[in-house]
Structure 1
């Protein structure tokens, strides 16, 4: 049976760039991709079952594509998200100017982060089982109740062009998880120039589980849920070592 669009369920799949090509003109010049790592950890509430599993992505970051969305979604609402977010994202990536971000701007950036995270995790060998999140995102064109997004300013060459996905399987009830079950929790950290976006997609435990704002106080700015006006950049720049700590926040908290 033919594969269907992860958002609307239609046929006619097209290639979608995980990182849009227009960002090439905004990002710092770089000779090659600086690294992307996929990690899946299978967890039971009481103990680790299996993992971690690592997979280094072979293609350059800007050329990474997935064939999981139809032409209507690709050229329709997904393109609309890029158009709305582009001016805000461009300024944040360049990191040169202080600027206010309205609720509209914060919502746009958070929506872009979720859309890009949903695409990025599909490049892995074991994507998360979060079909309902894709469907709800398509229906509302906004992050779902399962999504949380933060932003940070960063000045580090290793994070000028990077995506780090962490996928986990967490079982609340029933028998322990096993290696045949797909992950159901996802975090994605995306570094673009002077900007780091951190997204948690959690349809299992709920948003109240997570509070990296307190852990990385002054550096991580919450964008979603409850979007509010903010002044960019934040009062403190995220240190490079902290960026890796952000990546491991969920595995460390649940592990």
Structure 2
């Protein structure tokens, strides 16, 4: 859990407002937002109580709204204008090509940059509902100090052929039983974030449960390519494309969280 009033990454002061989606994406995605009837960002309240498999579904909407208006005051000016801005610039041309569905090579470095960008979006988005946050203060600090994803995280990507998720973020968090000692954590320890951008969908998974590897493996979506940890080089766009129905099952927890 981060400290209120301090940067979620470095712990510094002087917070600035950070957009969920950067403003340079707006002209690329605005048409999708206007065409969709769904809120373009949303969170679910925590699910909890059972070990994987057999997680219950989440219990209702918590926050939702228009993604380009959503800003969170959780990152300091130094991080926002420094290493995070540099990482954004390193990923911008690749993200643009993927949003538009244009060919692009996804080697190990490209996949790492994309995975880190997605992880940062997920980490920032989770702070919209801090009482149900599953990402620990240690993990935020780890990202800041090492400029990479924490242990126990996975990121996936796929080409997207639908409309509802073409400009959308969705997050849920929950409690997963620690198998080693059969204890239930006092706070959420597992999270999933789906990020839809034009012709691309990415999913971020993470867990700090004692059986985290099993949890993230169990929750890993089918039909998407794993880009973190690195498995193999890819050529974008990848086949097959994923549609709204399959993506809804992944993001909303069916069958993964039912």
Q: Smaller-chain TM-score range?
A: 0.7 to 0.9
Over 3 Å counting, the alpha-carbon distance change for 1:92 and 1:2 in structure 2 is closer
1:203 and 2:205 are equivalent in the alignment: no
Q: For residue 240 of structure 2, give the secondary structure of its aligned residue in structure 1.
A: coil
Conserved? CA contact 1:150–1:222, under 8 Å: yes
1:246 and 2:246 are equivalent in the alignment: no
Q: What does residue 52 of structure 1 align with?
A: 59
| 1:130-167, Cα deviation, whole Å (9 max, x unpaired) | 22211111111111212100001112111111111111
TM-score, normalising length: structure 2: 0.85
Tell me which moved more, 108-117 or 204-213.
204-213
Over 3 Å counting, the alpha-carbon distance change for 1:2 and 1:136 in structure 2 is closer
Which of structure 1's runs of 4+ aligned residues deviate more than 6 A? 46-50
From 225, 229, 241, the counterpart of 2:233: 229
From 125, 137, 140, the counterpart of 2:146: 140
Distance across 2 between alignment mates of 1:137 and 1:175:
27
Conserved? CA contact 1:185–1:202, under 8 Å: yes
Q: For residue 59 of structure 2, give the secondary structure of its aligned residue in structure 1.
A: strand
Q: For residue 167 of structure 1, give the secondary structure of its aligned residue in structure 2.
A: strand
Distance across 2 between alignment mates of 1:215 and 1:116:
19
Shift of 1:129: 4.6
Conserved? CA contact 1:41–1:53, under 8 Å: no
Over 3 Å counting, the alpha-carbon distance change for 1:98 and 1:131 in structure 2 is same
From 62, 78, 85, the counterpart of 2:84: 78
Q: What does residue 28 of structure 2 align with?
A: 26
Over 3 Å counting, the alpha-carbon distance change for 1:89 and 1:50 in structure 2 is closer
Q: Structure 1: any 5+ residue segments left out of the alignment?
A: none
Give the superposed CA RMSD. Answer: 2.6
Q: In the TM superposition, what are the counterparts of 1:167-206 in structure 2 within 5 Å?
A: 167-172=173-178, 173=181, 176=184, 181-204=186-209, 205-206=211-212
Shift of 1:214: 7.8
Q: What does residue 10 of structure 1 align with?
A: 12
Q: For residue 183 of structure 1, give the secondary structure of its aligned residue in structure 2.
A: coil
Equivalenced residue count is: 247
Over 3 Å counting, the alpha-carbon distance change for 1:99 and 1:45 in structure 2 is closer
Q: What does residue 99 of structure 1 align with?
A: 104
Distance across 2 between alignment mates of 1:116 and 1:151:
14
Distance across 1 between alignment mates of 2:230 and 2:199:
24
Over 3 Å counting, the alpha-carbon distance change for 1:32 and 1:183 in structure 2 is farther
Shift of 1:2: 6.3
Q: What does residue 155 of structure 2 align with?
A: 149
Conserved? CA contact 2:134–2:173, under 8 Å: yes
Over 3 Å counting, the alpha-carbon distance change for 1:14 and 1:198 in structure 2 is same
Conserved? CA contact 2:94–2:104, under 8 Å: no
TM-score, normalising length: structure 1: 0.86
